[in-house]
Each structure stands twice: as C-alpha cells, then as structure tokens.
Chains A and B, each alone.
Chain A
C-alpha cells in the first residue's frame, strides 16, 4: 500500500503507480489451487497419452497413440461431426441469446422477470431426466413432436434415426438447454452500458436498430467474446447430448470427440488413447480460441 504520486487525470495506462505485487496477490489463490490440483493431473494425463496397456501392463509407446489417432477414420468422423454442430449451433444459439437479452432488458417486454426465469430454467434440468424427455419427445413412432407434426399435416421426421436429422435433434436439444445461459451473461453485461448513451442517441434521432448496432453491440463485446469462446469450447467437448439421445448414432453420425474420448476411456479401458484424444482436442480448441480472440479483439478501440 504505497501512496501514489499525484498524477494528472490522463487516459494513459497507469504504469508504476500501482504496486507491482497486487496482481500476483490477487492471483495467489488461483495459483495455489492450480499448483495443487491441476499440475499433477495434467502431467499425468500427458504421460498417460504416451502409454498403452498391453497384456495388463502399462507400456511406454511414445507417440504411438497420436500416430494411431492421425490415421483413425472414426476420429475424423467425430471431428467432422463436432465441427458441423459447432458452426451451426453456436451462431444460432448466441444470436437467439442476444435477442433474448435485449428483450429482457427492454421495457417493451411484459412480465420480464418471469420470462427471464423461464428461459434460464432449462439449464437446471438433470441430464438423465432431460435425456429421457427428449428421447420420448423425438421418438419417430409415438413422440409428441411427430404427433403434432402429423396433426398439422407435416410429414413425420426420423429425428433420431437419420444421420442429418439426428444432428438437428442434438442442435435443438443443445439450444434448449443452453440459450438461457448465454442470455444471462449478456443481460449482466448490458447493465454496464450507461443509460445516458441511449438517451443521447435518441435525442440525436438514432433509430432502434442504430442504437442496437452502435451502442448495444459494442458494449457487449466482452460478453460476446466470452460466450463465443465458451460455447465453442463447450461444443468441441460435447458429450452429454449425444450420450443420452443417440449414443453417437446412427452409425456414428452424431459421434463427437467428447463421446469418442469417453468410449475409449470408460468402455474400452484404453486410457492412453483417450488421453491422447484429450490433448489433441485441447490443441484444436487452443488454435480456434486463439483465432477467435484475435478476431474479436482486433476491432477494439
């Protein structure tokens, strides 16, 4: 706690006036926790990815698992599936979440508090119940959705039996489950946009759309970066939905990298291979996240 020299009120970054140690002190709990609970597991997992269980013995195989992964057609199928779901679902969901947050923040909407809760609640539902529910709803024979479709003259859809529709089902389930999550993050961020900006813009005669584009969106930039990166990572790691709805089927059409990892680890007991998949996934996520950061930061003033 040093007394700061009197500084003129400039907008330059403060250097030298804040104690050097403060950020480290604030980060201390995180550093201790990481050192305690993350270092060993990550190193262990990395080492494990270089091994294989042969006849009950864990044997060092160098980059063998990675080599096998590079020529594994099922892995590439999983990768393709995951990427398809990623580029379709994430923009869709975030776009919806954005509109929702704006609506929840606007005086145009009645009963805001109730609807805010309604859209958030899906994320609370447990996986088992949610799996049963959606499988029942999307059952092509006697599910409610097809029942409703037929009653309005639409054809029945093979929701979980067709490779394309199965992916659509996963996307629908994901959107139902997580849109509220992103909406809440956007809503929180919206609160930090000063109301005066909107008032000034209205006085200047800006339309609602212009206000949205020039005030709301830029104000939401940090939250948008956050949700884009988080949703991307979450989708790349996707496991829950394919596990309960389709088991990766039909014929691996909805097999995601997350599911393939789980299968190799907890069904085939091939932990070395599963760890290798995990680290390759981390690498992919790292590259994509980096690109996203660059892209989303570039435009900052």
Chain B
C-alpha cells in the first residue's frame, strides 16, 4: 500500500493514532498496575487510593517465587507443553480445516456439526469422565495428558476452515493439473499462502494451553509438574496469600506469550506476497 502524504491523510492519520492510543493506554494500564504490584509486599499492594508508585520488593518477590516455590519449573513445563501443543495442534487443525474448506465428501456436514457440538458443550461437564480416562491410561502427571485430549481443538479447526475458504481454488486446481500429490499441494501450495492465519492459530493454540487451569489442576499431581496457572493457584490460601508473589508470578507468566506474539508479528502482515494468483 502506498503511503498517502496528503494533508487530509495526515489529519486522518493523527486522528486515528490518537483514538487508538487512548484505547491502547486503557488496554495497557492494568499491566502497569500489575508491574507495580509485583514490586510490593502484600500489605502495600492494597491501598486507598491505589498504589501506583513502584516499590522495592520485586527482587524479594521473584526470589521467593523462583527459589522458594520452584516457579521456574512451572514456567518451563508450561512453555514446553504449550509449544508442543501449538505445533502438533497446528498440524492437526490445519489439515482438518483444509479438508472441510476445500473438499466435498460424505458426512462433511455431520462431522463439522460434531466439531461445533464439541465446541458448544461446556468443558466442566466432561471434566470428570476425561479425568477417569487419564486414570485408566495411567497418564496422570504426564505431558501427554495435557497435550492430547484437546489437540483437535474445535476453535482451531473452525479458524482454519474459515481462512482456507479464501485460498483460491484455481491454485489448487492448477497444481492438481500439474500432477502434484494432495499432501504436496497442501504443504507447498496452500500453507505458504496462509502465514498470517497460521501465525494466529499458533498464538491461539499456545495461549489456550498456557492459560488452561482446571484440567491441568486435576491431572497434575506433584508440584514439579505444575504448569503456570496451577502453580499460581497453589500460592493462594485462605488468609495468607502472598499477593506480591502471586502478582509477580502473573507478570512473569505474561512474558512468554508476549514474546511469542512479538516474534510472530511479522507474519500478521503478509503484505505484498498475499495475492498469489497471477493474472
């Protein structure tokens, strides 16, 4: 896109920037509070008016968290599980989305309907039986228990199906005419045009696994296997929650996802390469 430097465009640019900036500040303000809270002891976090000046307890909180509570382990576990999940899940969901978007086959409607039903039923309802399955398989406290059950994430399948609909049929058709195999078409023709959607899928899958709380809580047994949300929850007590630690931990847990998002940023704006159909 050419950058328009006319006066009207400049005014428009300023207006848009200001509005977005105001909204952006509102979006970020809670994180400022979070960072400030991480630098305080519990008793100084809750004040009237709210405490917006950073304190000096950040190091103490972090040391208590990582050394005392083994939080580093949790971050490692979460990162590993979420990464594997995002990669494998990305593969599974993309393949499924492709099938739904670009093919007609018997049972298509029913199958997609099942995907939606699975999306619709609240996960709390299936918590107990899923737990029973894990017990039967003897998979308690394992990585596979966290990764496998939701690998075929309906949200991911749905996302891929929708975004693949805009992949031009002619592209695929042309490749078929050239004699390419189906898997090759998928991997080398279709996927490269979908970088932004794949990046989005990767982020969402990573995030879904990273934030998952209730199911890991039940499946994980020992504190060295805890993921981040479970580890943070174990810091809560009835009358003695160390909020400095808890909020410092929350702040730390934001960083990996943030890092991933920044890393994948460039894929969100594919730019000129998107239009691959040559006239």
CB atoms of A26 and B186 under 8 A apart = yes
Chain A residues with CB under 8 Å of chain B are: 1, 3-4, 6-7, 9, 11, 13-15, 17-20, 22-27, 29-30, 33-34, 36-38, 40-42, 44-45, 100, 103, 105-111, 113-130, 132-134, 136-137, 141-144, 147, 176, 180-181, 184-185, 187-189, 191-196, 198, 219, 222-223, 225-226, 229-230, 233, 237, 239, 258, 261-262, 265-266, 271, 274-275, 278-279, 281-282, 285-286, 289
Q: Is there a chain A Cβ closer than 8 Å to B253's Cβ?
A: yes
CB atoms of A103 and B16 under 8 A apart = yes
Q: Knowing A37-B130, A121-B254, A185-B200, say if A100 contacts B26 (CB, 8 Å).
A: no
CB atoms of B182 and A1 under 8 A apart = yes
Q: How far is the CA of A116 from the CA of B158 in the complex (A)?
A: 23
Q: Knowing A29-B92, A45-B129, A136-B46, say if A226 contacts B152 (CB, 8 Å).
A: no
CB of A141, distance to nearest CB on chain B (Å): 8
**Chain B minimum-CB-distance residue to A266:** B124
Q: How far is the CA of A65 from the CA of B247 in the complex (A)?
A: 41
Q: How far is the CA of A132 from the CA of B246 in the complex (A)?
A: 11
Q: Knowing A105-B269, A125-B254, say if A195 contacts B125 (CB, 8 Å).
A: no
CB of A153, distance to nearest CB on chain B (Å): 18
Greatest chain B CB density within 10 A among A37, A134, A233, A278 is at A37
CB atoms of A41 and B133 under 8 A apart = yes
CB atoms of A195 and B1 under 8 A apart = yes
Chain B 195-237 interface 0/1 with A at a Cβ cutoff of 8 Å (1 = within): 1110110011001001101000000000000001100110010
A108 partner residues in chain B, CB cutoff 8 A: 4, 9, 12-13, 16-17
A193 partner residues in chain B, CB cutoff 8 A: 274
- List 10 extra interface pairs beyond A3-B179, A113-B265, A118-B28, CB under 8 A: A30-B96, A36-B148, A37-B130, A40-B129, A42-B121, A108-B12, A126-B229, A143-B50, A188-B199, A279-B121
Q: Knowing A108-B12, A188-B268, say if A125 contacts B250 (CB, 8 Å).
A: yes
A285 partner residues in chain B, CB cutoff 8 A: 120
Cβ contact of A226, chosen from B115, B162, B261, cutoff 8 A: B162
Greatest chain B CB density within 10 A among A30, A189, A229, A286 is at A30
Q: Knowing A34-B152, A125-B254, say if A120 contacts B16 (CB, 8 Å).
A: no
Q: Is there a chain A Cβ closer than 8 Å to B87's Cβ?
A: no
CB of A195, distance to nearest CB on chain B (Å): 6
B181 partner residues in chain A, CB cutoff 8 A: 1
Chain B 20-32 interface 0/1 with A at a Cβ cutoff of 8 Å (1 = within): 1101101110110
Q: How far is the CA of A281 from the CA of B122 in the complex (A)?
A: 8
CB of A46, distance to nearest CB on chain B (Å): 9
Residues of B in contact with A, size category: 35 or more
Cβ contact of B124, chosen from A17, A187, A229, A274, cutoff 8 A: A274
Q: Is there a chain A Cβ closer than 8 Å to B68's Cβ?
A: no
**Chain B minimum-CB-distance residue to A176:** B27
Q: How far is the CA of A22 from the CA of B228 in the complex (A)?
A: 39
CB atoms of B265 and A116 under 8 A apart = yes
Lowest 9 CB-CB distances: which A-B pairs, in order? A278-B125, A194-B275, A41-B126, A222-B162, A142-B48, A44-B129, A41-B129, A23-B103, A188-B196
Chain B residues with CB under 8 Å of chain A are: 1-4, 9, 12-13, 16-17, 20-21, 23-24, 26-28, 30-31, 33-34, 46, 48-50, 91-92, 95-96, 98-100, 103-105, 108, 111, 114-122, 124-126, 128-130, 132-133, 148-152, 155, 157-159, 162-163, 165-167, 169-170, 173-174, 176-177, 179, 181-182, 186, 193-197, 199-200, 203-204, 207, 210-211, 213, 228-229, 232-233, 236, 243, 246-247, 250, 253-254, 257-258, 261-262, 265, 268-272, 274-275, 277
Cβ contact of B268, chosen from A44, A124, A129, A187, cutoff 8 A: A187
CB atoms of B125 and A274 under 8 A apart = yes
Q: Knowing A144-B50, A191-B196, say if A219 contacts B166 (CB, 8 Å).
A: yes
CB of A149, distance to nearest CB on chain B (Å): 13
CB atoms of A124 and B207 under 8 A apart = yes
A124 partner residues in chain B, CB cutoff 8 A: 207, 210-211, 254, 257-258
B269 partner residues in chain A, CB cutoff 8 A: 105, 187, 191
Q: Knowing A119-B27, A127-B213, say if A230 contacts B155 (CB, 8 Å).
A: yes
A14 partner residues in chain B, CB cutoff 8 A: 169, 173, 176
Instruction: Jot down 30 A-B pairs with beta carbons below 8 A, ordered by A.
Output: A6-B177, A7-B177, A9-B170, A18-B103, A24-B105, A27-B95, A27-B111, A33-B149, A38-B118, A106-B16, A107-B1, A108-B13, A109-B20, A111-B17, A124-B258, A125-B30, A126-B253, A126-B254, A130-B30, A137-B30, A142-B49, A143-B50, A188-B197, A188-B199, A194-B274, A222-B163, A229-B116, A230-B155, A278-B121, A286-B120
